[in-house]
Amino acid sequence: MKKEAQGKRVAVDRAILELEQFLPYRLSVLSNTASRAIADLYERRYGLSIAEWRTMAVLGSYDGIAAREVAERTAMDKVAVSRALARLIADGRVRRRTAEHDKRQSVLGLTAKGWKVYAEVAPLALEHEKRLLAHLTVEERRWLAHILDRLWQAELEEIAR
């Protein structure tokens, strides 16, 4: 490490870690910008938070699941799910029944109104994803998907331990 012109903004000798090169930092910044743009859009247009959108998305794929499974499938904790559901139900986008076989559990699903929102938001989200990926070549995209799978898997194993 050596001085730049002016002797200002010196990269210091003792430094061992460059934040800009640090993987967790890079992932965090990337993740934030990837989510922010689209999140702002459906927040403004539909009053949906990320937590609410994720909840709707999994209910779009898995009708009739309980809150616990929403939490698993959205990687959110049960408190966040509870709050997201409270708002979605208040807005009439999600319906909740009590499971007959276990009265603690709920049976959740999108209402007609919820499906209407879903049918508008999902394409926006997918388009946004496409725009992000458009910056990569086909090969890079394949590698990215592969690497995410690998890391995902590694995490699961880590948690399982």
Partner DNA sequence: TTAATCTAGTTTCAATTGAAACTAATTGCA
Partner DNA sequence: TGCAATTAGTTTCAATTGAAACTAGATTAA
Among 43, 49, 51, 73, the residue binding its own copies under the rule CB under 8 A is: 73
Residues that bind DNA (CB under 7 A): 49, 51, 66-69, 71, 77-83, 85-86, 101-106
Does residue 33 bind its own copies (CB under 8 A)? Answer: yes
- Residue count, binding to its own copies (CB under 8 A): 66
d(CA 149, CA 152): 5
- 57 touches its own copies (CB under 8 A): yes
Which residues does 84 contact at the CB level (< 8 Å), separation at least 6?
49, 51, 52, 54, 55, 76
Residue type at position 100: E
Applying CB under 8 A, among 24, 79, 90, 138 the residue interacting with its own copies is 24
Residue 112 burial by Cβ neighbours in a 10 Å radius (0-12, 13-18, 19+): exposed
Exactly one of 2, 44, 75, 90 binds its own copies (CB under 8 A); that residue is 75
Name the binder of 28 from DNA, its own copies, none, CB < 5-8 A by kind. its own copies
Torsion angle defined by CA atoms of residues 68, 69, 70 and 72, in that order, rounded to the nearest 10 degrees: 90
Nearer to DNA, 66 or 122 (CB): 66
